[in-house]
Structure 1
Amino acid sequence: MKLRDAPSACPSLWRCLPCPPAELRLDLVLSSAQSFRWWESSPGAWTGVLGERVWTLRQDRDRLWYTVYGEEDEHEEEERDGCSAKAAKLDGAEADGILRDYFQLDVGLSALYRTWEAADPLFCKVAKDFPGVRVLRLDPIECLFSFICTSNNHISRITAMIERLCQAFGRRLCCLNGRTFHAFPSLSALTGTDAEDRLRALGFGYRAKFVSGSARAIAEGLGAEGLSQLRTAPYAEARKVLCALPGVGAKRYGVAAGGKSLTPRAYQEIGDFFRRLWGPRAGWAQAVLFCADLRKSQQRASSRDQAWDSRSQDSHGNGPR
């Protein structure tokens, strides 16, 4: 199956969920620096790894379409032709459940937007252009180590780093249209004695120490299951446990203090302000504003690049005549 195939072209290979754009916008959510494992494989179609399988997702009016690719066995890996994986025979209810959990579709987003718009004029101004921005329910291991990689970094470099991480430490899943996909590394894969050196060789720099150190700390302490259980722990408790890990600390997007680091008290006060303003899902509202700022920043960068290209062409006599 080719990535360019539309759902209507191969109905037997695709399933769908009811999901209007006001509840989910794939193009905004999957490019908003929450997960770094999705790429726009063809216009409107996004391919990535979820639950140790490779998926392609796309939207059509009020439906979310998806197909899932099967894993290669050793024989298929050796004999594959054209590097195109086959659609997997996955239980429909199971697949629906994975997507519902990942996108947290049980949370009514439209109602939350109305609440945030009523509480915050800034949110109201942004919301109409950025509907359907949800917080993904990422695997805790992938979430933790992906965001350790975000320190002093930008999206394209983070994405490339995580791709190298998965290729070097993750299990191969399948090859699709010339691109090989790997699962995110297990905790045990990142605790080897040579893990830090291998990560440095992959270009992780000082983050290599944090990734390998956090992997060992989790393996020797609360374990992968304990990390997952932090999802239901009180916020203060979960933050305390996470901030004890190497490379994990407080972060607040868009806050400046004259170039100085914010104190723990200042972080707490800022967080409390937004929790009072936006309510119990304040992090979701912040994700919408972050997405808006990110998209505007990308548009400005694109405009600068186009202006630079134009000036460069003019300086070499290649501009419009």
Structure 2
Amino acid sequence: MNVIEEKNRVILEGIGDDFEPQHVFDCGQCFRWIRQEDGSYTGVVQGRVINVKKENGNIILDNTNKKDFEEIWFDYFDLGRDYTVIKKELKAMDEYLDKATDFGKGIRILRQDGWEMLISFIISANNRIPMIQRAINNLSEKYGKCIGEYSGKTYYAFPTPEDFKNATTEDIRACQTGFRDKYIKGVVDYVNENNEDILSYRNLDTDECTKALIKFNGVGPKVADCIALFGMFKYDTFPVDVWVKRVMEEFYVEDNLSLPKIRKFALDKFGDLAGFAQQYLFYYARELGIGR
């Protein structure tokens, strides 16, 4: 991969098929990346606004520079990991993963902020993506720090626990969080009152990490697995939602198997690559309507 800086943007040459913006941003792992009319995606990460598109085989990161690329984006987009090797290992497991990895060949698992993932996936429970995005955007506008304008739109950082400190349950509900308002309020109060460092959960093993997350009201096993995978970098976990359940029943397990048993089957089969397998299978199932 060759990195070129020019005119407030960074161009990544030679990245091949291992980074397709649509695959990355539409595979269910993130909520602050919005598709634009030209097919690019604009997102808010670590108090910065960035636009990503693929053009002539190159990835173009707009509204940034090489310094931020080295300090933020290289890690955030997991560019130090060879996804060609991961896909080769998964393909060797069975024909279903062979097809799924081809279909979602450009997926990369973003290394996102654990605190933001905790609140975001609480909001995601029994919710549709446009509503999740709206609630997160409303919370950011109301409580987050203003970053500035990009392409005529004002953007806000995701609120820190301190930013949320004086928010009431009613205030949070007004941001269209629905019944999850009390769960968000509970997490905010616990973190502020106990000076809890959510990012320290990354230092726990996967089982300890998910147990630490489940202590929060509003965080069940699936939500805990999502937070662990996308915010705590626990790649040996396997969130099971409705689409994953469908694809697992279609290809691997008997119908009506319990979610914990599906999860255990997946962890035993996919091992340390379970989180990657989950993303390829999820995207494959949802986009093609498998098991619907």
Same fold (TM over 0.5): yes
Report how many residues are paired: 263
2:124 match: secondary structure: coil
Query: Does residue 1:212 correspond to 2:185, yes or no?
Result: yes
- The 3 A distance-change label for structure 1 pair 106 and 11 is closer
Partner amino acid, structure 2, of 1:279: G
1:206 is displaced (CA, Å) by: 1.3
Query: Does residue 1:229 correspond to 2:200, yes or no?
Result: yes
Give 1:51's aligned residue.
46
1:200 match: secondary structure: helix
Which deviations, in whole Å up to 9, do the C-alpha atoms of 1:163-220 show, x marking residues without a partner? Answer: 111111111111233322100011112232x431111122222100011111111223
Is the deviation greater in 31-40 or in 107-116?
31-40
Give 1:195's aligned residue.
168
Which deviations, in whole Å up to 9, do the C-alpha atoms of 1:66-113 show, x marking residues without a partner? Answer: 122xxxxxxxxxxxxxxxxxxx6x5x2332331111111111111111
- The 3 A distance-change label for structure 1 pair 277 and 46 is same
Q: 1:253 aligns with which of 236, 241, 252?
A: 241
Query: Does residue 1:141 correspond to 2:115, yes or no?
Result: yes
Query: Does residue 1:65 correspond to 2:41, yes or no?
Result: no
Matches of residues 67-82 of structure 1 in structure 2 within 5 Å?
67-68=62-63
2:52 match: secondary structure: strand
Partner amino acid, structure 2, of 1:215: V
Query: Does residue 1:238 correspond to 2:209, yes or no?
Result: yes
CA distance in 1, matches of 2:96, 2:151: 43
1:119 is displaced (CA, Å) by: 0.7
Which deviations, in whole Å up to 9, do the C-alpha atoms of 1:5-36 show, x marking residues without a partner? Answer: xxx9x942221234524221111111222111
CA distance in 1, matches of 2:213, 2:60: 35
Give 1:282's aligned residue.
274
Contact 2:134 2:176 in 1 (8 A): no
Find the structure with the greater CA-based Rg: 1
Give 2:131's aligned residue.
157
Once superposed, what is the RMSD of the aligned Cα atoms? 2.7
Structure-1-length-normalised TM-score: 0.74
Q: 2:9 aligns with which of 8, 14, 36?
A: 14
Contact 1:191 1:212 in 2 (8 A): no
CA distance in 2, matches of 1:297, 1:119: 23
Q: Which structure 1 segments of 5+ residues have no match? A: 1-7, 69-87, 301-321
Q: 1:33 aligns with which of 19, 28, 32?
A: 28
Q: Which structure 2 segments of 5+ residues have no match? A: 223-239
Contact 2:48 2:147 in 1 (8 A): yes
Contact 2:138 2:176 in 1 (8 A): no
Contact 1:214 1:247 in 2 (8 A): no
Which deviations, in whole Å up to 9, do the C-alpha atoms of 1:35-66 show, x marking residues without a partner? Answer: 11111224232111111011111223443211
Q: Which runs of 4+ in 1 moved over 4 A?
A: 256-262
Structure-2-length-normalised TM-score: 0.81
1:188 match: secondary structure: coil
1:281 match: secondary structure: helix
Q: Once the two structures are aligned, what percentage of the paired residues are identical?
A: 25
Partner amino acid, structure 1, of 2:53: R
CA distance in 2, matches of 1:103, 1:52: 16
- The 3 A distance-change label for structure 1 pair 60 and 97 is farther
